[in-house]
Structure 1
């Protein structure tokens, strides 16, 4: 199976380099069971075009994943998931999510939003991204 580039999302103003955002998303998709051993990643060109970023940024992310032995290059096909990433316990995964949620809450507060408004945005996103 080949995953689509549209399943990735980058935020240039997030304060995290885009290549690290991509690495984190790929690792999370593997840990969450959305990417399995043998699945193909989008080509560098396809991913760069879809996300509107420089191809070297995608190449850097893929090279780091390859160096970490998470993916491997398959001649003539592209990058393939080589091994699974341990998902960790539910508590550990929630700890991984906490800083991202904290950033969203802080941003919501800076925008002057109430708890209800922030939760409404979160709930809408949860509905949009249902598995």
Structure 2
């Protein structure tokens, strides 16, 4: 498994929360499977020029939730005893905060509903074609 973290220091969401939310979505959506290895704390911190304690905090929170586990000699992996895979409703709930923020920005920019929906569909299509 290779997860491309999208870390944005300018985002109002703290960096550790960005990591947590991206991993939650990856696990809930099935892109991260039980046993998949995560980048080491040091490697992820160096790649994104962030403090290793930030990455460690994110991993520890997910470990406490039972989504990740530590394996000696390997590091952090997606937990093999996953809670039941998230249903469609739970996955939609993970998406809702991002869509709420996007809707808020569309209103602030004075965009009409159809223009905003077309842009969302275009972005979604681009992601699905990657």
Q: Normalising by structure 2, what TM-score?
A: 0.80
Task: Indicate which of 73, 84, 89 corresponds to 1:91.
Answer: 89
1:80 maps onto 2:99 in alignment:
no
Aligned-residue RMSD, C-alpha: 2.2
List runs of 5+ in structure 1 lacking aligned partners.
none
Q: Normalising by structure 1, what TM-score?
A: 0.79
Distance 1:8 1:74 in 2: 22
Q: Secondary structure at the match of 1:12?
A: coil
Distance 2:30 2:48 in 1: 23
Query: How far off is 1:13 after superposition?
Result: 4.1
TM-aligned CA distance change 1:14 to 1:87, over 3 Å: farther
Task: Indicate which of 51, 61, 66 corresponds to 2:63.
Answer: 66
- The number of residue pairs the alignment matches comes to 128
The list of structure 1 runs, each at least 4 consecutive aligned residues, that deviate by more than 4 angstroms after superposition, is none
List runs of 5+ in structure 2 lacking aligned partners.
none
Query: How far off is 1:100 after superposition?
Result: 1.7
